[in-house]
Amino acid sequence: MTQTQEMYSYILAGIAIIVVLFFAMRLRRGIQEDREKNAMIKRITGDITTLEVDAIVNAANESLLGGGGVDGAIHNAAGPELLEECRTIGGCPTGEARITKGYGLPAKFVIHTVGPVYRDGESGESELLASAYMNSLELALENGVRSIAFPAISTGVYGYPKGDAARVAELAVEGFFATHPDADMEVIFVTYG
């Protein structure tokens, strides 16, 4: 093979790599666009108890019997019927989720999930927090929810660092839609304010 032929083969190989990369990027963009058609993720500041969505998520404690922060606000806004229904459930372990009616809330459902108490970041907190988001989304999907609003789970009295919790939440939601590409659901992350 002459030097010229060798140069042409390198050029052709380079062009082939560029073409493959171009189509891989288009395919990835197409998959992402398809996912975005089905699932939309928003971030807002507001009061989760006033949102007109199919379901809101309650950052609950394991008893599900109300507490402070968003948990107390949701119980207060929903009315005493929510507490009555929660008493019949029997609690909820950390990382899992339970669903109730919304009662006095604009939302049809309340999905109660228990996030982890933050210790040192090395005690399985991120896995439990991701499970709280994933299990909430699974319940939402099973119940035909098309729009769901999440508070910042575990970032209040449970002490999870907000930036770390946000990354876990985003990865969990992305992971959910990666494993459920046909899920048609709007996800709203709500910061109180």
Catalytic residues: 71
* Inter-residue contact 136 to 97 (CB < 8 Å): yes
> DSSP secondary-structure letter at 90?
T
Rounded to an integer, what is the distance from CA 124 to the centroid of its chain? 18
Tokens at 96, concatenated: 């899992």
> What phi and psi values does residue 129 have, to the nearest 5 degrees?
-65, -45
* Inter-residue contact 52 to 106 (CB < 8 Å): yes
Number of H helices, E strands in the chain: 5, 6
Nearest C-alpha neighbor of 169 from the set 184, 186, 183, 150: 150
Tokens at 60, concatenated: 């609950």
| Alpha-carbon span 27 to 87, nearest angstrom | 49
